[in-house]
Amino acid sequence: MGLANIQAIDLRQFTDDTRRTTDDYPYGGGIGMVMKPEPIVRGIRHVQKSAKEAHVILLTPQGRQLSQEIVEELSNKDCLLLICGRYEGIDERVRYFVDDEISVGDYILSGGETAATVLIDAIIRLIPGVLGSDSRIDGESFYDGLLEYPQYTRPREFEGFEVPNVLLEGHHEKIRLWRRKMSLMRTMKHRPDLVASIKADAEMKRIIQEIDLESIV
């Protein structure tokens, strides 16, 4: 479909030695190896020759915590250049050649490739046409600062658990309000840290007043 173009760049092509070395022992000692700055910076400059507006991102635990807001911000960039770390890390001096630093969470990965995959997937699905003409993304988790409302499909009853009646009545406005209320209640229960940042309009304020807080603790 040509909606996105992803290219993997082998840093070994930017080395000088016969072994095409991209890592070396850390100064000061310690376990593991550190990725050398020369191949990475040369790789950045190689891409910038054809994509001068490339937004260079270092995937690192020290970066901005990835959020839907950041995903939407990055989706507006024409070209992203993602630097994936390996081993014990990347030479600190590489940071002087990047535009941004992103973290996908407070946990340890073997390399930045997995983090890059997460970021790529989150961004690409925002491109018009990627999800299909019938798909909508504005009701999904985090798009309005809330977790997504519960979803149901057939059968109507499964092992004693039934689909809420409001979803069966065909009243679109009631369904919309129910979903918004369920999103808020789910967020309050599972991610109360998100509630403080919600920009509540008049309708949301009214929904909050209707919620029995004790029922969601």
The enclosing domain of 206 has a CATH number of: 1.10.1270.20
Domain containing 202 equals 157-216
Q: Are residues 102 and 162 in the same domain?
A: no
- pLDDT digits 0-9 by tens, 123-162: 999 999 998 754 445 556 665 788 999 999 999 999 999 9
* 212 in a structural domain: yes
Describe the crossing of helices 68-75 and 112-124 by its angle, rounded to 10 degrees. Answer: 70
The predicted model gives 106-125 an average pLDDT of 96
For 9, phi then psi, to 5°, come to -115, 125
CA distance 146 to 129: 24
- pTM: predicted TM-score of the whole model, two decimal places: 0.84
The predicted model gives 154-179 an average pLDDT of 96
Supply the pLDDT for residue 135: 46
Q: Are residues 117 and 178 in the same domain?
A: no
* 197 in a structural domain: yes
Supply the pLDDT for residue 87: 86
CA distance 116 to 59: 7
* 193 in a structural domain: yes
Please give, one letter per residue, the 3-state secondary structure of 55-121: EEEEEEEEEEECCHHHHHHHHCCCCEEEEECCCCCECHHHHHHCCEEEECCCCCCCCHHHHHHHHHH
Better-scored residue on pLDDT, 21 or 197:
21
Better-scored residue on pLDDT, 43 or 208:
43
The enclosing domain of 52 has a CATH number of: 3.40.1280.10
Q: What residues are paired with 162 via a beta bridge? A: 157
